[in-house]
Amino acid sequence: MIIDPRQLDPGYFHGRPRVLIVLHQETSTPGRVGQELIRRGFALDIRRPRFGDPLPRTLAEHAGAVIFGGPMSANDPDAFITREIDWIDVPLREEKPFLGICLGAQMLARNLGGRVYGHDDGLVEIGYYDLHATDAGREMMRWPSKVYQWHREGFDVPRGATLLARGDTYPNQAIRVGPAAYGVQFHPELTYHMMVRWTTRAAPRMELPGARQRRDHFAGRFVFDPPVKAWLDGFLDRWIGRADDKAALADAAQ
């Protein structure tokens, strides 16, 4: 069953621990990550700073935060990009669960002084590509062998971060910072409908060097998506758990 938060009665979320969701386009959705958070009992507090939504000064009333991807670069001079990069200080300082996906991971790296950059040969990763867990990553959990990518830039591992997974074209694919902050270059949130939309609206990007052809995206999903979904389930259990657990901890602290 696919859960779309827009189709739920607002009362469904009343009193549930909230996760801050940062999106970058009017039509963007949190995809499977959002669906799985709802399934775990969380409410989604969706904000789009690009269109004027504010970001909270503290995450005291949120269980965690996710910054998703977008077509822009973490190096762009737009004010909302700078605000989001600076705002990541909040979950890092408060040691609240934070997850950056693609652009969000690059923003995390920038916040910590890391470099975000494109490949010297102009190579991109658009489609399914190999993923190699590091020793630290394997100690944490089992990782999929291939993941879905859609990016033209990567990031350096910033000071204080632990590399969890590597790639071939863009070597740094997943990092952990402190006890609860993670950045992943790939897209575990991708649903079938998102793949249809991305490969249709951004079809010219599949002509870039290194990109997979559209037919390969869908053929790859049939084979490679189940392990990615299993990884996401395990990751979310470790990263944020379930809303009932958070509520019990909050009640105990009162």
What are the φ and ψ backbone dihedral angles of 195, each rounded to 5 degrees? -65, -40
Of 114, 50, 62, the residue nearest 91 (C-alpha): 62
User: Catalytic annotation on 189?
Assistant: yes
How is the chain classified by DSSP, letter by letter? ----GGGS-GGGGTTPPEEEEE--STT---HHHHHHHHHTT-EEEEE-GGGT----S--TT-SEEEE---SS-TT---HHHHHHHHHTHHHHHHT--EEEETHHHHHHHHHTT--EEE-TT---EEEEEE-EE-HHHHHH----SEEEEEESEEE---TTEEEEEE-SSS-EEEEEETTTEEEESS-TT--HHHHHHHHHHTGGGGGSTTPPPHHHHHHHHHHHHHHHHHHHHHHHHHHT--HHHHHHHHHHH-
Rounded to whole angstroms, the Cα distance separating 91 from 234 reads 21
Query: For residues 155 and 166, what is the distance between their CA atoms, to the nearest angstrom?
Result: 12
Q: Which residue has the tokens 């970001």?
A: 55
Annotated catalytic residue, options 24, 102, 125, 151: 102
CA-based max dimension of the chain: 56
Catalytic one of 24, 84, 189, 217: 189
Residues designated catalytic: 102, 187, 189
